[in-house]
Chain A
Amino acid sequence: DQQVKQNSPSLSVQEGRISILNCDYTNSMFDYFLWYKKYPAEGPTFLISISSIKDKNEDGRFTVFLNKSAKHLSLHIVPSQPGDSAVYFCAASSRTGANSKLTFGKGITLSVRP
């Protein structure tokens, strides 16, 4: 059973517009959520995270929103740039100890059109 779901496999947006990437989770024990960005032939790189005690975290053009009651989070990229074109993975964990494991979704391919 998939605990972290990214139901849309791809998203295409115009440069300068907002990109909204969605993620749902089923495990109510998850209390830490992260977004990773991956370019082809490279390893994933950390983008932004949010703890369950918050409902929003901002870092420059990137904002993550968390709705605990809906078990839903979203990543907003404003404004979108062609260099943002990549695969975005949502991930979640329960930070109960050093052995907490990070569970990833299947990823969303974002294409930003010039």
Chain B
Amino acid sequence: NAGVTQTPKFQVLKTGQSMTLQCAQDMNHEYMSWYRQDPGMGLRLIHYSVGAGITDQGEVPNGYNVSRSTTEDFPLRLLSAAPSQTSVYFCASRRGTGELFFGEGSRLTVL
């Protein structure tokens, strides 16, 4: 079972560049979300979606866009990368209100 798949695993960007972190899940989960993990800060929610066509902001949404055109995919877009967005990003999904299943993470460095 693939579960939650994130690509790329590593990325280096220059300030001002744009990119998309991809997330796909094959568990038919309606709920998908993006978190970032920073040292001493734990996991903070960026954006989430409760189904295709529905997205909402989490705790730290500024600088990020999301869309949900299918149940399986939930890409995270950085329109103009900043050094403050250097982090490890995790995509997660769940069915109903149960536990979240996480991907392996995408490590982003913005120079």
Contact of A43 with B97 in the complex, beta carbons under 8 Å = no
Count of interface residues, chain A, beta-carbon cutoff 8 Å: 27
Say yes or no: A102 contacts B100, CB within 8 Å.
yes
Alpha-carbon distance A9/B41, docked complex (angstroms) = 11
A-B contact count (CB 8 A): 60
Known pairs A89-B43, A95-B97, A104-B43; A44 contacts B102 (CB<8 A): yes
Tell me if A98 and B58 are in contact (CB < 8 A). no
Minimal Cβ-Cβ distance residue in A for B58: A101
The 8 A CB mask of B51-79 against A (1 = contact, 0 = none) is 10000101000000000000000000000
Give Cα A96–Cα B40 distance, bound, in whole angstroms.
29
Are B42 and A106 in contact, with the CB atoms below 8 A? yes
Write the B27-43 contact mask toward A (1 if CB under 8 angstroms, else 0). 00011010100001111
Binding site for A on B (CB under 8 A): 4, 30-31, 33, 35, 40-45, 48, 50-51, 56, 58, 90, 92, 96-97, 99-105
